[in-house]
A and B are shown apart, each in its own frame.
Chain A
Amino acid sequence: MWVGITIILVVWILWQFVFGYPESRVECENLTAREQHLLAKSAEAFFPEGGSLPSAAEAGVVQYLDRMFAQLPKQQKILIRLLFILIEHGPLIFGPLKGRTTRLSQESRIDYFRSWEESSIYFRRLAFLSLRSLVTIGYFSSQSVETALLSEKKS
């Protein structure tokens, strides 16, 4: 019986944390499907649909970061990939133990990110700031965002 429970547990953990990523819905050449999925979900937490400003998807955040990723030096690519892994599988270490970040509901994901932002551990806050910076750089690269936010400049 214990063997069966262990197998089920291992399969569940692998499914929750390693496998089961949807196929990429945007054209990317450099980021893996997992990385795209994490970035898309993270960007959605910062810049959801609705309101007067474009959403992350409308701003093309993932596509931008895919292009930017290609320009990064090797070492920075490695560091950013490690950052993605840490954020994606952070729930395993820091909770909530509901699976990887991309499996969380939008509400839970925001709570999860808030726990990083407000963490008493400096390293966690720094990692979160790095993710937020990347996504925000991607968001502001969009012409529609620039037009909406930096209006006087455009006129």
Chain B
Amino acid sequence: MSLPVSQPRVLEFADYQAELSDTADMIVVGSGPGGAVVAKELAELGHDVILLEEGPPFRSKDFTPDAGASMCRLYREAGMRAARGKSMFPTMQAIALGGGSVVNSAIAVRPPDWVFEKWSETSGISLDMRKFSKNFQRVEDFLGIEKTSHDALHERNLLFKKGCDALGISSEPCPRNVKKCKASGECFSGCRAGAKQSTDVSYVPAAIRHGARVYTSVRAEEVVIKNRRATEILGHVVEPFTGKVGYAVRLKARKAIILAAGCMATPQILMRSKGASGPSGHVGQNLQFHPGGALMGIWPHEVNPWVGATQGYHSLEFLKQGYKLEVLWAPASLLVTRFPGFGHQYKKQLERLKHMAPFDGIVAATRSKGSLRLRGKSWDPDLRYELHPEDQKDIHKALISIAEIMWASGAESIIPGIHGMPPEITKDEMHVLVNHKFDINQTTTTCNHAFGTTRMGNDPTKSVVDHSGRCHHLDNLYITDSGVIPMSPAVNPMLSIMALADRASHLIHEATN
């Protein structure tokens, strides 16, 4: 079966009644920030586009704040994916139309210019910042990115501002791709208010308006390569939530295939496709994250932390020192697991939740590296990651900065959640945190920004794609997800991924016309 070009729409799992075959100018794999932008731009430029997504579409009414149900439905490996090393690093990847943009906190911030200078040093690619800035601007304008409005901040976010102001640390409301935020703090389980402008409600509909066909619940598994050209995508329909494999899928590309399945799925597709990985040996290597740590502050007054934008305020003051500070909220059940105590003591801690607020720090971790390998026939990869001791020190520094902001905003105590430290410390005991011999195994370090597994660069022996996202050794296979990012963008990567994808779209258009 295939859809006539005259009837563009979204196909869902129940729509597939036979094997699927179709042909288009461009086939884009993945509907997250990297893929949806390319699909929309190329469709707008007049190309016939098919957009593939392994996950199902979600409507606002499908989301639930229940952490368990959300993890099982929205995240790969039911939210239990982790990279292994000296420590286990939980890392969450979405499986949904819209990809990671459905479950992130919508922070859309530009990296400072020095980041791109570092990218240039690493990759040998000098981005024309005047032109690249326009790519950022186009994405920002399309999504209506604005700084979080005062109405959406509430006490949790304002405490962070208060602490930063008192210490003379620069801070600002987070720029976000959100319209009319209801301040529900439910970003990580999907926006029930429909306020978040994730790609499933922004770029994907725009791509459809320009004629793109969207096939959801389709897993791209192999790229067929003939004479340096990517000609077909082979895959299967997969049942949402169970992953059961259904009808075979065969899609032919007249002009180009663009992989944007995310930096953990794209390398797997390449590794399973004959002749697609190339000779560099770098596919799946150079896996990088932004490891993060958090503290829970306790204030004398009621904070009601569950109210307010999930991550409405941040500080970019310490980016050059290697870390970024943010306000945080997540499903309460996930935040309270590090509370000390058992039984009635534990329940008493929970009763204090209304007085608490978590702040977090993410570190650039430019010295740390990991890798991705296939795990048999499974599409859940084997992830390895080792945190460099210097990056570990940055996490400790970030935690100290967070504590100082908490004290400056009037916190009366902090729950560090760090093994080997007292369960709760006061300002007078700050030296305990400062002098603590911090080790990564003493706390839970999440790694939610993943990139680098198909990095861009000028040297084909040290990178996978060139400046346009084209695989070095092939004429028309492109990658536009976070895998191409050569090193940390220092800030939340979504906007950078989208700007790179916007830039790549126009380069693909030029190359294929």
Contact = CB atoms under 8 A, between A and B. Distances in A.
Interface string A114-148: 10001000100110010011001111110000000
Nearest to B343: A48
A72 B72 contact: yes
Interface residues of A, number: 39
A108 interface: no
A133 B332 contact: no
Say whether chain A's binding surface is mostly helix, strand, loop, or mixed.
Answer: helix
Interface string A31-52: 0000000000000011110111
Interface residues of B, number: 38
Given A46-B342, A50-B344, A137 B441 contact: no
B348 to A, nearest CB: 8
A138 B344 CA distance: 18
Nearest to A45: B342
Given A45-B343, A46-B342, A71-B72, A153 B306 contact: yes
Interface string B350-384: 11011000000000000000000000001010000
B241 A71 contact: yes
A4 interface: no
Interface stretch (B62-70, B385-393, B426-434): B62-70
Contacts of B353: 149-150
B78 interface: yes
Interface stretch (B4-12, B15-23, B210-218, B333-341): B333-341
A68 B72 contact: yes
Contacts of A153: 304, 306-307
B48 to A, nearest CB: 35
B236 to A, nearest CB: 16
Nearest to A71: B72
Contact of A149 (B78, B338, B342, B350): B350
B68 A68 contact: yes
A149 B351 CA distance: 6
Interface string A62-82: 001100100111011001000
Nearest to B72: A71
A27 interface: no
A72 B72 CA distance: 6
B458 interface: no
B3 to A, nearest CB: 30
Given A46-B343, A149-B351, A122 B441 contact: yes
Given A52-B351, A71-B241, 15 more contacts: A45-B342, A51-B344, A53-B347, A64-B68, A71-B73, A73-B380, A75-B77, A110-B342, A122-B441, A129-B444, A136-B337, A137-B331, A149-B353, A149-B354, A152-B304
Interface of A: 45-48, 50-53, 64-65, 68, 71-73, 75-76, 79, 106, 110, 113-114, 118, 122, 125-126, 129, 132-133, 136-141, 149-153
Nearest 9 pairs between A and B by C-beta?
A140-B333, A71-B72, A122-B441, A68-B68, A137-B68, A152-B304, A137-B333, A110-B342, A136-B333
20 contacts: A45-B343, A46-B342, A47-B346, A50-B344, A51-B347, A53-B350, A71-B69, A76-B77, A76-B78, A106-B343, A110-B343, A126-B88, A133-B334, A137-B334, A141-B67, A141-B333, A149-B332, A149-B354, A150-B332, A152-B306
